[in-house]
Structure 1
Amino acid sequence: MFETVSRRSVVLGAASLCALVAWPRVDEALHPGGPGRETDSPALRHDVDPHGITRVATTRPWVALTFDDGPDPRYTPAVLDRLREFGCRATFFAVGSNVEAHPDLAARIVAEGHRLANHTHDHLWLDRVDQATVSDQLRRGAAAVQAFDRSAAELVRPPRGWTSRAVAATTRGLGLRSVFWSTCLESALRDGPGAAGDEIGAGLRRGDVVLAHDGGRVVGPNPQDIDRSRTVEALPALLERLRGAGLRGVPVQELVAAGRPR
């Protein structure tokens, strides 16, 4: 069993389950405010950040594939291999400290036609820190990914998808736009990797934004160490479903440019 942060009872949909799966407990000293009104659903995220992106209205047969928390030498290479095998490209919302620790993987991501984007520098939960820290995390995260992808700082994904009106205002003030997701691969892993890939892949529609994870380890003030091997195992079934439906996996930046973000 994985530990999760104590919170009031809520009815969990797939989106919130994805936010909760396999996350370690955070030191209360780091987030002294304690549990708040976590934005664990698309509706709650839109309420506090209407400028954020959950999916895109488009006529193109595209879905955005996105991977969080890397790069991680245990999983990122295998994720890249699977994407290459199926001719798909993706956006990697990378943790700045991981980019600095594994520059070879960041370089490989870009060299193989994928895009980087900002997932903060230390994977802090932005709704639980002051706005000076939010700004610092976004700026340092942007600098790390921009060293490999010059336009990578345009988009950011708050860790866990947790945000607030204050976080959204700081994000916009820095000229950034938050990207969330419409479906999450890890939310279906309860039935096994193959079934998860089939289930999520069968439900995809053009304009969807898929969340998965290529990173499990983050060191620093908010450490985590999560086994992502089942995500890697689920990818072939997901990508096969995608191909069978005539859909193409692309970076979220390209999907946004080809339609109307929602």
Structure 2
Amino acid sequence: MLRAAASAAAAGALATGCDPHRDEDTGTAPSAGGPGPSGAGQVPPAPVRAARPPTRAPGLPVQIEHGPRTGKAVALTFHGAGDPKLATALLAEAERAGARVTVLAVGSWLDAQPRMARRILDGGHELGNHTLHHRNIDALPAAEAYAEITGCADRLRKLTGTIGSWFRPSQTRRATDLVVGLARKAGYPHVLSYDVDSLDANDPGAPAVQRTVLDSVGPGSVVSLHLGHAGTVAALPPILDGLRRRGLRAVTTTELVT
């Protein structure tokens, strides 16, 4: 059933990876029945339950790449953009396995798909900030970089009541000192990086995504994955099964580090 759903949606899926050769990577096309950006005659989405406020993890660095190595948990983190049908299918697979994930949403995607904020939170998952337009934030002047951070924070606040648990920089694994300072100014005590890159944004296929993650993951890992890719949806169940066989469980990033 999963393969059929993923294949059916794959044709319309938009690439959502943190591709350094791409200025914008948001997958913002509204779904056929979705509300799209607000406008005349449209009914705004119902307010969602409040997201967690920004996480503070005393004793951990400002820029977090992984959690404690002595535990039995990992955090699967997803860059939030792309086809909402694929995103919904992926969240359902996580929930079926009892896993909770962290979604770092692109602000323009939330403009186009505001109901996804509610879907993420209603599933017990965590929601954070992945900039407004998914530009190369490390290369931007300070004022533009700050606008990218606060623009997405404003969308999250409007939809969920908070600016989200985490900030992750766009089109880069690690933020510069400038961007770290701007994120803290915007209200995020930490910048969320990762220590395992699934490379799923390149669409190598589900077996390759599964192999890349399971070959590199360990206790405390923060794994970078993407919504909007059929191969990632198909890879998630065997990834979760592989973690379970190693005695590891997938939790939100806040649960991992606090």
Same fold (TM over 0.5): yes
| Residues 1:171 and 2:172 are matched in the alignment | no
User: In structure 2, do the counterparts of structure 1 residues 129 and 207 end up closer, same or farther at CA, with 3 Å as the change threshold?
Assistant: same
C-alpha displacement of 1:203: 3.4
1:207 to 220, 224, 229: 220
Aligned residue runs from structure 1 range 179-190, under 5 A: 179-186=192-199
1:64 matched to 2:65: no
Deviation at 1:202, TM superposition (A): 4.5
How far off its partner does 1:153 sit? 3.0
Matching residue's letter, 1:65: L
User: How large is the RMSD of aligned CA atoms in angstroms?
Assistant: 2.5
Relative to the length of structure 1, the TM-score reads 0.70
- Structure 1 residues 147 and 71 mapped into 2: Cα distance closer, same or farther (>3 Å)? farther
- Given that residues 181 and 208 in structure 1 are in contact (C-alpha distance below 8 angstroms), is that contact kept between their aligned partners in structure 2? yes
- Is residue 2:127 matched to residue 1:126? no
Q: In structure 1, what is the equivalent of residue 256 of structure 2?
A: 255
- Residue aligning to 2:209: 196
Q: Distance in 2 between matches of 1:229 and 1:165?
A: 35
Q: Give, in whole Å, the separation in 2 of the partners of 1:95 and 1:198.
A: 27
Letter in 1 for 2:184: R
The 8 Å contact of residues 79 and 226 in structure 2, kept in 1 or not, is answered as: yes
Separation in 2, partners of 1:148, 1:58: 34
Deviations 1:223-250 (A, max 9, x none): xxxxx11122211221110111111111
Q: Who is 2:231 aligned against? A: 230
Give aligned pairs, total: 204
Contact 1:202-1:241 within 8 A present in 2 as well: no
Per-residue deviation at 1:255?
1.1
* Worse-superposed segment, 53-62 or 117-126: 53-62
Secondary structure of 1:210's partner? strand
Call closer, same or farther: CA 1:71–1:60 in 2, change over 3 Å.
Answer: farther
Cα contact 1:118–1:157 (8 A) shared by 2: yes
Give the secondary structure class of the aligned counterpart of 1:120. coil
Asked if structure 2 preserves the Cα contact closer than 8 Å seen for 1:92 and 1:115, the reply is: yes
1:54 aligns with 2:55: no
Instruction: State the SS of the aligned residue for 2:187.
Output: coil
Q: 1:102 to 1:202 in 2, by over 3 A?
A: same
- TM-score scaled by length of structure 2: 0.71
Q: Does 1:147 align with 2:138?
A: no
Q: Over residues 92-124 of structure 1, what are the superposed CA-to-partner deviations in whole Å (9 max), with x where a residue is unaligned? A: 000111112112221111001001000011112
One-letter code aligned to 2:187: G
SS at match of 1:105: helix
Q: Percent identity?
A: 31
Match of 2:108 in 1: 97
Relative to structure 1, is the Cα distance of residues 200 and 160 closer, same or farther in structure 2, using a 3 angstrom cutoff?
same
Matched, 1:161 2:162: no
Give the Å deviation of 1:175.
Answer: 2.9
Gaps of 5+ in 1: 1-17, 28-49, 216-227, 258-262
Q: State the shift of 1:190 in Å.
A: 7.6
Residue 244 of structure 2 aligns to a residue in which SS? helix
2:11 corresponding residue in structure 1: none
**Would the alpha carbon gap of residues 149 and 243 (structure 1) be closer, same or farther in structure 2, given more than 3 Å must change?**
farther
- Superposed CA deviations along residues 34-54 of structure 1, whole A, max 9, x for unmatched, are xxxxxxxxxxxxxxxx62000
Aligned equivalents of 1:191 and 1:24: distance in 2?
18
Encode CA deviations 1:20-44: one digit per residue, 9 max, x unaligned.
5xx65449xxxxxxxxxxxxxxxxx
Task: Give structure 2 stretches of 5+ with no counterpart.
Answer: 1-16, 25-60
Q: What amino acid is the match of 1:70?
A: A
CA contact (8 A) 1:71 1:95 kept: no
Distance 1:198 1:86, change over 3 A: farther
Regions of 4+ moved over 6 Å: 188-191
